[in-house]
Amino acid sequence: MKPLVTCLWFDGTARQAAAFYASVFPDARVGDAIAGDERGGEPLTVDFEIGGTRFVGLNGGDQFSFDEAVSFQILCETQEEIDYYWDALADGGEEGRCGWLKDRFGVSWQVVPRRLIELFGDDDPDVRRRVTEAFMPMGRLDLAAIEAAAAAS
């Protein structure tokens, strides 16, 4: 099977979104654009890649918009990584709870420490409970506070 390609529907901002993501993610690149005659100079589609995952930005119009039913997870190793992606993607967007945010284009992201995923799998139900209680009210996730909750007794 060939790799899947995610198509994201934009309202005339696919080129700007692709350039924005390429500026945020160090391993991203913008590829080809297919011209659209009736799109006010904007291409019909723009190819881009983030972390080896291919995307197509489609300038489809205003019939559809993004919502939280689909989001992209960024698994981070450090608080510095969490802060970097949170600040970059939330700029002009909307901060949410539990590590979720919407960027300026309305795309939902989860900026999550990889350690949180590991702690959800801990054998001790009290660790899982404390970690869940700690991270649920957070907007931007605080790795030190999550680790402290896990270690508490």
Q: What is the pLDDT of residue 94?
A: 97
User: Which is nearest to 55 in space by CA: 77, 97, 79, 22?
Assistant: 22
Sign of CA dihedral 18, 23, 27, 30: positive
Q: Would you place residue 134 in the very low, low, confident or very high pLDDT band (cuts 50, 70, 90)?
A: very high
CB-side neighbour CA atoms (13 Å) of 125: 0
Q: Which domains does the chain have, with CATH numbers?
A: 1-63 (3.10.180.10), 66-153 (3.10.180.10)
Model confidence over 57-98: pLDDT tens digits?
999 999 999 999 999 999 999 999 999 999 999 999 999 999
Model confidence over 106-121: pLDDT tens digits?
999 999 999 999 999 9
